[in-house]
Structure 1
């Protein structure tokens, strides 16, 4: 069996930055949830993306949940959510006993369609919040989306779980809305093994989120709780990994873009092969490199051929409105997301891959056109 190539796996720094911060946590007994690594990771991430405040949490999902709670989303409220995303974007809407309405993608960005968003506002003018996702590190068209949302005076939450390091017209994704969230899951561009961050330019919102995330413990000598709380804070040890990973973020983005350009150069001439969109205003982190197939070779052919050689790949996300759990909820659009799901393949995008690994992948894919 050939050596396994992963879709995307953790990549610790060659310099050992992460172990330095972890060792400090052990040496000073900062093993408990809070400590210097938490405080500094929040500060360093906020400075890196140019926002005023950040809260380090147990996951990106927890960050979305607290953003929705902070936005006042509650029972029976409607939240617009892209249909082409991972379920972690939509699940917190249900946590709040709220109602998701799924919005289609557009072909120009693969993200939330401004046209479908306008149609959704006409149908549901009482919407409470809009969740925007930057899929696979591609930026949504934030000018159009923010213009629509401001016109309707609605809270905007950016799910930038996959797009840390992506720029839209010179501004980092996750910093346009009222709240932004990042994920540090094991497959993300930088990782803490598991964790997330909630950011905002409103420091009071972040302070409140931290309060909720630590079981809503009131300031009192005894344990007193006046609000429902959650156990959502990031571990101080885990935050040390994040501090080290943040130092190599630019290197990881550079390698992700290199991988995408390698595929585009080597596979772009094959009949029926398309690539995830590129816009002049978008500087993507290319977290995953994705292709679409419209000829005789189908996505399943590519995935199975790679799998036979011990190489991971996967389909593009299955839209939420097609998922058994969410199929009862409304969908606004004309099927772009469904076509992307049917035609799309996420290719290996692991930053530890060598050119030899990439050549091995493209050789297998090219072979499907030679039969």
Structure 2
């Protein structure tokens, strides 16, 4: 395993920032449930992305769930959701007994297509909430999406799980909607091993989310619960890791961009390979370096060749409307997301990758085209 090249694995700081905060939690015996690390991680993340309030939670999925609840989504409500995403975006809709309607991508962003979203609004004028995703660190076309949501007076939730450090027109992704969510899963650009954050400029809603996340325990000497609660709060130890990781976020973004530019420089001349889009208004964190292969060399050919050399890669997400669990729900769009899935490839994007490792990946891929 020491020789394996990973897709994207945890990368602790060389300075040991994380252990300083974790040790502090041990020294003060604030292991769980909460403590200074949790409070400070919330403040530091909110400052970093320039938003008023944040709630540190056990996962990005938990953050989406509480965002839906805060937006008033309940049984029978319709929620628009991108089809090209990980299931964690869509699952919380079902937790709330609501109904997802999946929206296609466009080729310009790989994210939610504004035209398909507008079509969905016309078909479902009573939609309760829209979730937009910034896939692989690529920003969705937020100006058009925000305008549509405002026009129809519908709350917007940003799933920025993959895009911490990405800017759209100079503003952090995750801060355009009524609610934003970030993930600190082990493969994300910074990690807490597992965890997430719900952010908003509505401080009252974030306070309420913290209440729900701590089992909705009322202010009383005895244990009293007037609302349904959840065990969703982040632990003080995990938050310490997050505080240390946040200090190196900018370094991680720089390395991710370096990896993407390396692949693009070395491989873009190969017939049939096209790298994920870059737009003038999108300053991506390049979480994963992705490409589409439309020639005789298929994504599976590349993945198998890399796996033989102990190198991890994977396909682009399989759209939700093609998933066995979700295929019964409506889908608005054409075949963009399906095409991206069938032709897409995620290349190793681990920030610990050396130039030697990158050259090894590139050499294996080039060999396929030389046959």
CA distance in 2: counterparts of 1:346 and 1:287, whole angstroms: 10
C-alpha distance in structure 2 between counterparts of 1:177 and 1:138, whole Å:
16
How far residue 2 of structure 1 moved from its aligned partner, in angstroms, is 8.8
Give the 3-state SS of the residue equivalent to 2:156 in structure 1.
Answer: strand
Q: 1:233-281: per-residue Cα shift (whole Å, max 9, x none)?
A: 0000000000000000000000000000000000010000000000000
1:28-75 CA distances to partner (integer Å, 9 max, x unpaired)? 001111100000000000000000000000000000000000000000
Aligned twin of 1:265: 265
1:163-312 matches, cutoff 5 A: 163-312=163-312
Equivalent runs, 1:123-142 vs 2, <5 Å = 123-142=123-142
Alignment correspondent of 2:104: 104
1:54 is aligned to 2:54:
yes
Task: Provide the secondary structure at the position in 1 that maps to 2:106.
Answer: coil
| In structure 1, distance between residues paired with 2:2 and 2:63 | 39
Mapped to 2, the partners of 1:72 and 1:143 lie a distance apart of 24
1:274 aligned counterpart, secondary structure? strand
Query: Once superposed, which parts of structure 1, at least 4 consecutive aligned residues long, lie more than 2 Å away?
Result: none
Task: Determine the C-alpha separation between the residues in 1 that align with 2:91 and 2:296.
Answer: 36
CA apart distance, 1:85: 0.1
Quote the residue 2:359 is aligned against.
359
What does residue 368 of structure 1 align with? 368
2:341 aligned with 1:341, yes or no?
Answer: yes
Deviation at 1:232, TM superposition (A): 0.1
Task: Report the secondary structure of 1:219's partner residue.
Answer: coil
Q: Distance in 1 between matches of 2:320 and 2:295?
A: 26
Cα offset, 1:3, TM superposition = 1.6
* TM-score, normalised via structure 2 length: 0.99
Q: Is the 8 A contact 1:134 1:162 kept in 2?
A: yes
Partner residue in 1 for 2:121: 121
- Is the Cα–Cα contact under 8 Å of residues 7 and 347 in structure 1 kept in the other structure? yes
RMSD: 0.7
Q: What residue is the counterpart of 2:154 in the other structure?
A: 154
Equivalent position SS for 1:31: coil
What is the TM-score when the length of structure 1 is the normalising length? 0.99
Q: Runs of 5+ in structure 1 lacking a partner?
A: none
How far apart, in 1, do the equivalents of 2:32 and 2:320 lie?
A: 37
Aligned partner of residue 369 in structure 1, secondary structure: helix
- Does the CA-based 8 Å contact 1:182-1:198 persist in structure 2? yes
The SS at the match of 1:368 is: helix
SS of residue paired to 2:296: coil
SS in 1 for 2:370: coil
Report Cα offsets for 1:113-148 as digits up to 9, x if no partner.
000000000100000000000000000000000011
How many equivalent residue pairs? 371
Using the alignment, how far apart are the partners of 2:315 and 2:76 within structure 1? 33
Aligned residue in 2 for 1:313: 313
- Please tell me whether the aligned partners of residues 2 and 310 of structure 1 are also in contact (alpha carbons under 8 angstroms): no
For 1:2 and 1:63, the matched residues in 2 are separated by 34
- Could you say which residue in structure 2 is the equivalent of 1:68? 68
The whole-number CA distance in structure 1 between the counterparts of 2:33 and 2:248 is: 24
Distance 1:260 1:232 in 2: 35
> Which runs of 5 or more residues in structure 2 are unaligned?
none
